[in-house]
Amino acid sequence: MNDLTARIELVQGDITRISTDAIVNAANNSLLGGGGVDGAIHRAGGPAVLEECQKIRARQGGCKTGEAVITTAGMLPAKFVIHTVGPIWQGGSHHEDQLLAACYNQSLKLADQHQLTSIAFPNISTGIYGFPKARAASIAVQTVRTALQQCQFLQRVIFVCHDHENYALYQDVLNR
């Protein structure tokens, strides 16, 4: 597809209500659920999501920052959950930008490997992990635009912003 912007959408809402092939979870290293979007996805997905996360933990010991794993979506309207661990903001001198970009790259790569056609992302690392929201939006959009050129199957990427501040920031970046 030549027009990559046609493949990227922006919505303000609750990612647990988005019907796509996969939604991305801004997980923690343990994969056992937590606060924010992670807790919401685990609650809405039900025990099947946690059970698969526990199997991944038993096999590989969790998920490292910048990496991604895939599980069932359980009771969510999506088919799968791709769990990725974003970086904790430490002032920008600990490779946070590259690690955040890796979250988007690895999630898209995993989706394409599973021949998924649609994926929805939350605002990774901008909550309790403290990543500056405008910087995160810019990295997310730029990384997705570049990575989509390598994807065979993905037709639709949705950025799901829980709050108006992130929505406005993403809208600004997408309009540039």
Mind telling me the catalytic residues? 38
Sheet (strand 156-161) strand order: 8-12, 156-161, 118-121, 22-27, 80-85, 68-72
- For the chain, the domain total comes to 1
4 has pLDDT over 70: no
Angle at alpha carbon of residue 166, lines to 79 and 122, rounded to 5°: 20
Q: How far is CA 174 from CA 21, 104, 139, in A?
A: 23, 16, 11
pTM check: above 0.75: yes
The CATH code of the domain that includes 148 is 3.40.220.10
Q: Are 120 and 24 in contact (CB under 8 A)?
A: yes
For the segment 27-37, what is each residue's pLDDT rounded down to a tens digit? 999 999 999 99
For the segment 131-149, what is each residue's pLDDT rounded down to a tens digit? 999 999 999 999 999 999 9
5 has pLDDT over 80: no
Q: What is the pLDDT of residue 1?
A: 39
The parent domain of residue 128 ranges over 4-175
Q: What is the pLDDT of residue 3?
A: 52
Q: What is the pLDDT of residue 2?
A: 40
**Average pLDDT score, the chain:** 95
